């Protein structure tokens, strides 16, 4: 099983960018121009610098990555400006690892980091036409809460999805007392 750890300054951003491109290739084949389908190595560096990056490694190779970002007061997305909302971005799993649970492990790792930092809500966005991804995020507890338009970096309107986290001190799998 891949190990998940924080990104290091010495990590190979070219290899991580190739991983991101490979992970988003099926979406590109559908005609969806996610940022991850065409970002440069410098874009990868900048995107990691906007939050806390994590990587999954197996046998010395990167097989997944995720970045969790703190509240973004300057964001054009109202939910992302909320002082208790953290976002997930630059989320990628190698095609050979899809369906293994690695994506969920990366997600949960990012959520634990955000919760420990005070997050009350997690947010993300994905292409409105990506029904499979939207359904997966719904299974994970997210609900559509709005839209975002990142064009010309993308060629679609995104749905913004939110998940309210469990109350502080209450494990996420137990209901909070009323």
Report how far residue 139's alpha carbon sits from residue 93's, in angstroms, rounded to the nearest whole number: 18
User: How far is C-alpha 108 from the geometric centre of its chain's CA atoms?
Assistant: 10
Report how far residue 72's alpha carbon sits from residue 38's, in angstroms, rounded to the nearest whole number: 24
- Tell me what pLDDT residue 167 has: 59
User: How far is C-alpha 77 from the geometric centre of its chain's CA atoms?
Assistant: 16
Residue 58, CB-side half-sphere exposure with 13 Å CA sphere: 12
- Tell me what pLDDT residue 166 has: 73
Report how far residue 70's alpha carbon sits from residue 146's, in angstroms, rounded to the nearest whole number: 19
Helix (H, G, I), strand (E, B) or coil at 106: helix
Residue 24, CB-side half-sphere exposure with 13 Å CA sphere: 24
Report how far residue 157's alpha carbon sits from residue 144's, in angstroms, rounded to the nearest whole number: 13
Which pLDDT tens digits describe the chain residue by residue (178 residues)?
899 999 999 999 999 999 999 999 998 899 888 888 889 999 999 999 999 999 999 999 999 999 999 999 999 999 999 999 999 999 999 999 999 999 999 999 999 999 999 999 999 999 999 999 999 999 999 999 999 988 888 888 999 999 999 754 444 444 433 3
Give the orientation angle of helix 41-49 with respect to helix 13-29, to 10 degrees.
100
Question: Could you read off the pLDDT of 4-46 as tens digits, one per residue?
Answer: 999 999 999 999 999 999 999 998 899 888 888 889 999 999 9
User: How far is C-alpha 2 from the geometric centre of its chain's CA atoms?
Assistant: 18
pTM for the whole structure = 0.88
Q: Classify domain 3-164 at the CATH topology level.
A: Aminopeptidase (3.40.630)
Q: What share of the chain is helix, strand, coil (3-state, %, to 5)?
A: 35, 30, 40
């Amino acid at each position: 099983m891949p190990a998940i750890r924080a990104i290091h300054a010495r990590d190979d951003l070219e290899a991580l960018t190739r991983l991101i491109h490979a992970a988003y290739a099926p979406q590109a084949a559908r005609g969806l121009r996610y940022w991850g389908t065409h970002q440069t190595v410098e874009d990868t560096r900048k995107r990691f610098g906007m939050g806390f990056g994590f990587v999954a490694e197996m046998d010395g190779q990167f097989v997944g990555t995720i970045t969790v970002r703190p509240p973004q007061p300057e964001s054009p997305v109202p939910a992302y400006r909320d002082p208790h909302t953290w976002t997930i971005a630059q989320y990628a799993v190698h095609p050979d690892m899809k369906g293994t649970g690695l994506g969920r492990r990366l997600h949960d790792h990012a959520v634990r980091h955000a919760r420990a930092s005070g997050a009350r809500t997690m947010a993300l966005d994905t292409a409105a036409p990506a029904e499979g991804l939207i359904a997966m995020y719904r299974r994970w507890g997210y609900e559509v809460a709005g839209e975002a338009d990142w064009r010309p970096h993308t060629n679609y309107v995104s749905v913004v999805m939110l998940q309210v986290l469990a109350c502080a001190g209450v494990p996420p799998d137990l209901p909070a007392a009323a």
